[in-house]
Every structure is written in structure tokens, then in C-alpha cells.
């Protein structure tokens, strides 16, 4: 009898200890999708690949195909994606069949790009967004994936009222909860701007308010040009500030166009260069190509006359060589 009581007491202590450990560790996160796959997925329908297929005789095509089109990079999903559950599910499914890790960007929050306006749009209401992001997460399901959640969503708070910020934060927290519930093998990174935009302490505060505590981590430099070293230092500073909230987070850096760093301009600046291809490590948890080099930032800079997301072969070609 004494033995049974002792065993029961030991079991209870173990359960309690485990529960306390979980409380200190925070939410239970997804399994590591990078160990479930054999490298990053290359979108077989990316804009650079479509252009090279349509222009095989163009003198720039070979370089663009080799240096950009065949490099693993993200696919962006928004209100152009149609049935997002089917679109995300099909994309993640093709990657899974190839034993590769897909990078997906969720870009559909209401009043998207509210300050700059070059990529304006998004879901028409909070209810519409919550329905959309639920479908997005459900489409991925149990397949391994990386999701970059809503580029610019926090960086544009300066153009929003307190009420709008609170509603946006609620949507981001809801989105993170949906991925945790419906996509257990997905790592979600909440966008956190870049090294030249918002101070680290302010960004940490915004990340905490938007629920980054429930996400795997945060993303830096999406669609921008700051160097990996600059963003790595910034990410470390954000984490130093996040410690006051009781946690730190891994981060990823968009290296697709940061080979020559930033000249201070974000909208199609000249003289930029492609950066380190998608990989683990390198000053962050992962370096990722999130924006396809050659895709326009909008009607500005060397992309004058274009729309955001339009593939510009001359811009892509020059970005390969850095001029």
C-alpha cells in the first residue's frame, strides 16, 4: 500500500512539474517543420519563372532563371487567391509531395498598406478577414509550412487610430490562434518591420500587443533592403525589449533583395542586389526569400509605371548584378 501511495505521489509530482514547465515555456508550438522536410520549396509558378517561360529567347532569361526563378521563395496569398483554403492547401500539398518546406505569406488584413497605399486592399471587414485566415490555416492543415503573417500590419500603426490598432491587434491574435489550432506543423512569424523603420522597444510593444507570444517568432525586412547584419542586430534588440514581457522569439530575415543594403528608399530603389538564398541560420533562425527580386514595389523609383507585384525583367536582371 505504501508503495502504491509513493508511486501515486511521484506521478502527481511529475504531472505538476510538467504543468509548471509548460506554464513557464508558454504556448505549445508546432513541431519543427524544417526537420520534417528536405529543404525549401521553389514555387513552380512564380512570376520570374512565368516570365522566363514566356520569353525564352530574351537575352536576360537565362540569368533570371538561374539566379531568381529557381531559388526557393515565398508565395503570397490575398484577396486575389480565390478560395484560399483550396489555394493554400494545394500549394502546401505540392510542397509536401516533394518533401520540401513551403513559405507562404498571408497578406489580406483590412486596410492593408494603409500608409503607403501602393499595395492597398485586403479583406473588407474584420469578420471577412477572420473567415479568410481560418480558411488559410485550415487549408495548410497538418502539412509542414512557414507562414509570414501580414507584412506591414504593425509598421503602419502611425496612420491608424487607437481603435483601428486595437481591432487590427485582435485580428492578428485571432490569426495566430487559428494557425496554432488548425496548422500544428506550421511556424508562424508575425511581421515586425525592418532595421530602419521603428525603434526596437516600440516594435516589441506592438508585437506583444498583437500576440507574438503565441506565434513561433517574428519576421524582419520583408520586401525591404537592409542588410542581414543590420536586421540581425535589430532582431536582437527587439528580443531584448521583449524580455520585459517574459519571453524572446526566433526571427527570420528577408534576404531576397538586401545584397547591397538599403539606400534609405523602400520603393523600387536602383542599385540593389539579390541576397543570400533561403537557408537556416545566418544571423537569424532562417534567411528567406520572401519577396521575389524583380517584382515591383509599386509605381515608383525604377518601377515607375508599374503596379505592386508586377514582374519587371530589367529590374530583376540588374538586381542579379547589383546595378
Q: Catalytic site residues?
A: 152
Note whether 273 and 259 are within 8 A (CB). Answer: yes
Alpha-carbon Rg for the chain in angstroms: 21
User: Which positions ≥6 away from 64 have C-beta within 8 Å?
Assistant: 48, 51, 52, 294, 313, 316, 317, 320
Whole-angstrom distance, CA of residue 96 vs CA of residue 99? 5
CA count, 13 A, side-chain hemisphere, 181: 11
Q: Measuring CA to CA, how many Å separate 205 from each of 169, 185, 196, 239?
A: 12, 27, 17, 11
> For the chain, how are helix, strand and coil distributed in percent, rounded to 5?
40, 10, 45
Amino acid at each position: 500500500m505504501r508503495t502504491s501511495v509513493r508511486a501515486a505521489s511521484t506521478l502527481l509530482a511529475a504531472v505538476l512539474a510538467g504543468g509548471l514547465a509548460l506554464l513557464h515555456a508558454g504556448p505549445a508550438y508546432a513541431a519543427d517543420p524544417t526537420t520534417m522536410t528536405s529543404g525549401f520549396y521553389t514555387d513552380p509558378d512564380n512570376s520570374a519563372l512565368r516570365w522566363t517561360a514566356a520569353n525564352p529567347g530574351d537575352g536576360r532569361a537565362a540569368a533570371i532563371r538561374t539566379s531568381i526563378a529557381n531559388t526557393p521563395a515565398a508565395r503570397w496569398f490575398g484577396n486575389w487567391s480565390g478560395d484560399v483554403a483550396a489555394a493554400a492547401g494545394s500549394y502546401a500539398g505540392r510542397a509536401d509531395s516533394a518533401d520540401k518546406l513551403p513559405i507562404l505569406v498571408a497578406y489580406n488584413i483590412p486596410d492593408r498598406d494603409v500608409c503607403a497605399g501602393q499595395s492597398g486592399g485586403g479583406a473588407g471587414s474584420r469578420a471577412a478577414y477572420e473567415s479568410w485566415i481560418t480558411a488559410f490555416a485550415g487549408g495548410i492543415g497538418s502539412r509542414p509550412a512557414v507562414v509570414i503573417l501580414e507584412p506591414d500590419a504593425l509598421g503602419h500603426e502611425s496612420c491608424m487610430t487607437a481603435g483601428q490598432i486595437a481591432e487590427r491587434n485582435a485580428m492578428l491574435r485571432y490569426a495566430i490562434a487559428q494557425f496554432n489550432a488548425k496548422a500544428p506543423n506550421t511556424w508562424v512569424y508575425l511581421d515586425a518591420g525592418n532595421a530602419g523603420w521603428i525603434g526596437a522597444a516600440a516594435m516589441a510593444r506592438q508585437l506583444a500587443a498583437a500576440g507574438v507570444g503565441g506565434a513561433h517568432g517574428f519576421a524582419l525586412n520583408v520586401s525591404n533592403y537592409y542588410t542581414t547584419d543590420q536586421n540581425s542586430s535589430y532582431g536582437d534588440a527587439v528580443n531584448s525589449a521583449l524580455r520585459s514581457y517574459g519571453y524572446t522569439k526566433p526571427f527570420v530575415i528577408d534576404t531576397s533583395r538586401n545584397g547591397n543594403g538599403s539606400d534609405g528608399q523602400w520603393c523600387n530603389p536602383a542599385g540593389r542586389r539579390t541576397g543570400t538564398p533561403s537557408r537556416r541560420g545566418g544571423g537569424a533562425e532562417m534567411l528567406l526569400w520572401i519577396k521575389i527580386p524583380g517584382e515591383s514595389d509599386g509605381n515608383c523609383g525604377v518601377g515607375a509605371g508599374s503596379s505592386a507585384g508586377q514582374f519587371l525583367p530589367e529590374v530583376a536582371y540588374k538586381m542579379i548584378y547589383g546595378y
